[in-house]
Amino acid sequence: KPSNMLNGLLVVNKPVGPTSHDIVYRIRKWSNERRVGHTGTLDPLASGVLIICLGPATRVSEYLLGSDKKYQAIIRLGQSTDTYDSQGTFTNYVDVNLTQEQVENALTKFRGVIMQTPPAFSAIQVDGKRAYEAAREGEPMDLQPREITVHALNLVSWKSPDLVVDVACSAGTYIRSLANDIGKELGTGGHIASLMRTATSHFTLKDAHSLNDIETAFREGKGGALV
């Protein structure tokens, strides 16, 4: 399809490394479509489902921003960081001697409607300034807790110090904050060692295309078939 015919959603399997904005930039370049947007940021550390809107479909992005998400996370206990993930500065180390029962008991406190404080290193804006900018300058903002819903929080495996969980949650949930808070509840601290978004709304990894496949399709003039 010519670029002016592109109108729809492209489900990307984002690799670890690039930002969500990097993905938008690449797809804009490959597709020659000016109007390209994403429907919910994934941190550079995170991989998985990132929905890209092209053309007039960018108007639906706000609806998808508000949709439920699913993740699989590896929470490394006993190690805290200022960003709540492995890319931050390590702030604390604690020995971890927890039973699976202790871990399961802690998780029960994070199911349902809960209050969650976003990470200091987040893109939230207060008075026109991003929280992560203030945090980098050594003056983290006092971010207020907000209500989120954790529809499901299931233990996949526990092999010290790594806790693997599947999470289904409302939009606006920070899995990094969840990891930090679970670590606090267990008395060990914790951070996200690995994060994969497995679904946004009803779009899953099965629907997602790799960046290589997307680039190849657009180079061969078949990119429209993926949208």
Q: Which residues are catalytic?
A: 43
Closest-CA residue to 35 (of 11, 12, 7, 10):
7
DSSP, collapsed to helix, strand or coil, labels residue 14 as strand
3-state helix, strand, coil in the chain (%, to 5): 30, 35, 35
Question: Identity (one letter) of the amino acid at 140?
Answer: P
Other C-beta atoms closer than 10 Å to the C-beta of 224 total 19
Closest-CA residue to 149 (of 31, 68, 55, 81):
68
Other C-beta atoms closer than 10 Å to the C-beta of 207 total 16
Close Cβ partners of 45 (under 8 Å, ≥ 6 residues apart): 16, 85, 86, 87, 192, 194, 195
